[in-house]
Structure 1
Amino acid sequence: MLEKIRLDNILFLDIETVPEQEAFDALDEETQKLFDLKTQYQRRDGETPEEFYERAGIWAEFGKIVCLSAGFFTFKGDIRHFRVTSFIGDEPKILRDFNNLVNNHFSQPQHIMCGHNAKEFDFPFLVRRMVIHGIPLPNKLNLFGKKPWEVPHLDTMELWKFGDYKSFTSLKLLTKILGIPSPKDDIDGSEVGHVYYVEKDIDRIVTYCEKDVIAVAQILLRFRREDLLIEDEIIHVI
């Protein structure tokens, strides 16, 4: 039961990803061919790999993480806060800094990771990029040999399905129907690459990523029938 999980044992997270190179032409010839093969069934008729490359950030083989935001609840008596922080910089640094957070503060058996569509996207992407960079996996992300009920992950999209596996429910839609402020009031995932490479505005991406983390926490509160966070309860840690 969700109500039996202590909120301060949950680490909420979200990642923002972009194509590993700014343009298709920056890839070596072999990688271009591999991207062509990987995406041949996703591209529309007549659409070239070059034209499709702006979507490369959704694959860990051709994308990279430019921002990882994490949040967690703290309680002091009756006072509740939600602390959210972000890791930016070069990708290996982002992954190492996140590993340090997990290993130092969220590595015990009672700790759980939570995201929206995270089992399908965020968690696998994180693990694959760690493997690519030769970074040891934290136990919470190393699922080898674990049974499904031993995996310490929560996914708000999966929770919303209630066993129905026929459809995808976006974070924007779920926040709308649950009466939660939308995290998509500025940019959405399809625009992150442009903001990163063209506008070079990482702060805008951080704000967007942190809003997603807060929204996931709010959704979980709604599932538990608890009061939503108010602005004064949210602390942005630099």
Structure 2
Amino acid sequence: MLEKIRLDNILFLDIETVPEHPNFNALDDETKQLYDLKTQYQRRDGETPEEFYERAGIWAEFGKIVCLSVGYFTFKGDIRHFRVTSFFGDEPKILKDFNNLITNHFNQPQHILCGHNAKEFDFPYMARRMIINGIPLPNKLNLFGKKPWEVPHLDTMELWKFGDYKSFTSLKLLTKILGIPSPKGDIDGSQVGHVYYVEKDIDRIVTYCEKDVVAVAQVLLRFRREDLLIEDEIIHV
């Protein structure tokens, strides 16, 4: 079934998120209390909400998107390319630009969104942040009333589970065991907030995010038993 999906009908994506504010003290008192309640079971014994605030980016209620990278295949005869581009900076603009992209180019029934652990994280996070920012939900993220088989989403982590609901496999581990060049560079997800707020190096975050998009595409190619992308086939636009 997976082999029957045309690769050029799939939009691969990844997002990078950070806490919505540079530090805990920037929150108003009510939001501080709500964050305390939200994270009470995630924090270690004795760890304060303020100390835990660097993790706030994983919740759409307390975080924001600073980079959204996408990639898609193009074919011209026997020539295959994978084009990668990113939206970054101001979150409302990121979401509006992404909305425009999928509304204008990936909005037909055959089009599918694909990411790693995206059904649990990327897709709902984007939808929630769109609602928070007053941006209309695109059809591909609006799941209300859809049956499971009507949801236009692929998740490489879910594909790897093969029905094993308790399994979590990171993209880094999956690329390692499948013989795919590691997508990770000089930072990991836990450091994105520091790079964004302290180092103010958005280019570094964009590079990190785009590597993940390429890695997800490579994983899907391995699932389909197709040749992996080589460097000359990857175009950054």
TM score, norm. by length of structure 1: 0.99
**Residues 205-229 of structure 1, C-alpha deviations (whole Å, 9 max, x = no match):** 0000000000000000000000000
**Residues 69-120 of structure 1, C-alpha deviations (whole Å, 9 max, x = no match):** 0000000000000000000121000000000000010000000000000000
Runs of 4+ in structure 1 over 4 Å off = none
Letter in 2 for 1:14: D
**Which residue in the other structure is 2:100 paired with?**
100
Paired residue secondary structure (2:52): helix
Q: How many angstroms apart in 2 are the aligned matches of 1:38 and 1:100?
A: 33
Letter in 1 for 2:191: E
Q: How far does residue 166 in structure 1 lie from its aligned partner after superposition?
A: 1.2
Paired residue secondary structure (2:50): helix
Q: How many angstroms apart in 2 are the aligned matches of 1:130 and 1:47?
A: 31
Q: How many angstroms apart in 2 are the aligned matches of 1:117 and 1:100?
A: 24
Q: How many angstroms apart in 1 are the aligned matches of 2:49 and 2:183?
A: 31
**Residues 170-189 of structure 1, C-alpha deviations (whole Å, 9 max, x = no match):** 00000000001111131110
Q: How many angstroms apart in 1 are the aligned matches of 2:4 and 2:20?
A: 41
Paired residue secondary structure (1:154): strand
Letter in 1 for 2:73: F
**Residues 106-146 of structure 1, C-alpha deviations (whole Å, 9 max, x = no match):** 00000000000000000000000000011001100000000
How many residues align structurally?
A: 237
Question: Any stretches of 5+ residues in structure 2 without a counterpart?
Answer: none
Q: How far does residue 147 in structure 1 lie from its aligned partner after superposition?
A: 0.4
Q: How many angstroms apart in 2 are the aligned matches of 1:131 and 1:72?
A: 26
Q: How many angstroms apart in 1 are the aligned matches of 2:172 and 2:186?
A: 12
**Which residue in the other structure is 1:33 paired with?**
33
Letter in 2 for 1:214: V
Letter in 2 for 1:63: G
Letter in 2 for 1:88: F
**Which residue in the other structure is 2:227 paired with?**
227
Paired residue secondary structure (1:196): helix
**Which residue in the other structure is 1:42 paired with?**
42
**Which residue in the other structure is 2:204 paired with?**
204
Instruction: Output the aligned Cα RMSD.
Output: 0.4
**Which residue in the other structure is 1:150 paired with?**
150
**Which residue in the other structure is 2:161 paired with?**
161
